[in-house]
Structures are given as C-alpha cells and as structure tokens.
Amino acid sequence: IAMSCAIVVVGCSKKETPEQQIRKVIDAGAAALENRDASAAAATLSDDYLDKGHRDKKKLKGLAFFALQQGPVIVSVQNVDIHVDGDTATAQLKVLAVQGSAELKTASDLLPTNARAFDLTLRFHKEGSAWKVTSIDGLHLGGFD
C-alpha cells in the first residue's frame, strides 16, 4: 500500500515547466555571484558556451572569479521574458549589479552611484534534464573583457 501511495504521489506531482526550470537557472547564477562563487556560477553554463565577445566557459569563469575578488556583489534580476522552442530557449532580462564593500547589505545601499545595469539576452539549451546557458549577449565587463 505504501509503495502504491508513493507512486501515485510522484506521478501526480506537478512537473516544472521549462520556463520555471530556466528561471531557476537564472536565479542560481545570480545567487552564486552574490555568494562570490565563480564555480557555482559557471555550473549554469554549457561546456559549449561561447558569446559574441568570443569568451568561452573557462574564460567567463575566470573573469567572474577575478571580478568577485573585488568585493561583495548584489544582483537584481528584473523583467525576465522567456521563450522556449523545443530544447532551446531565449531569455531577455535586465540585471542590476552593485559591487561594494563588506558592509554592503542591499542594492539600495549604493544606488545609483555604484550600480551597473545590463540588458541581457541569454540563450539556453537543454542538456539531458538540465537547462544550460550557451551564450550571454549584452554582458560588458568594462576592463575585464
């Protein structure tokens, strides 16, 4: 009886939509940056990642590692618009990033003088059961490129 109940519960549980799964990837990337964890941020990227700046996954991870050494970061993701087409997807979003001192608690602590806004286009591909970022357009890292 217990096994039957377990099968029914698993079978009836709601599966996340691709849009929900992609939002989780975006949120995980932002959280990793706020936690100053370049490896966790890079885990959201496909091994085939390549953007218009000719940065691959390894290069972007290295740039993130260096940038995160400069101090805490607060990342605010806004206006997320996701379009899924089979095993590929595109997300348009606005990101507000603030880098500050150890006392930084919220983005409003330094706004607007130290904030950088990015209008980004993220491209995704489904790899197995996971969505991975294959490119990010609109990411300008100033002197870090």
The total of other beta-carbon atoms located within 10 Å of residue 38's CB is 20
Average pLDDT, the chain: 83
Please report the pLDDT score of residue 8 as a whole number: 52
Please report the pLDDT score of residue 116 as a whole number: 79
Please report the pLDDT score of residue 143 as a whole number: 44
* Mean pLDDT to the nearest integer, 108-116: 57
Site of tokens 């990101």: 95
24-33 contacts, C-beta under 8 A, 24 or more apart? 25/124, 25/130, 25/131, 25/132, 25/133, 26/77, 26/80, 26/91, 26/93, 26/122, 27/77, 29/133, 30/75, 30/77, 30/95, 33/64, 33/68, 33/73, 33/75, 33/97
Asked whether the beta carbons of 68 and 33 are under 8 A apart, the reply is yes
Please report the pLDDT score of residue 117 as a whole number: 83
Percentage of residues of the chain with pLDDT beyond 70: 76
One-character DSSP codes across 107-126 = GGGTTTTTEEEEEEEEEEEE
Please report the pLDDT score of residue 11 as a whole number: 55
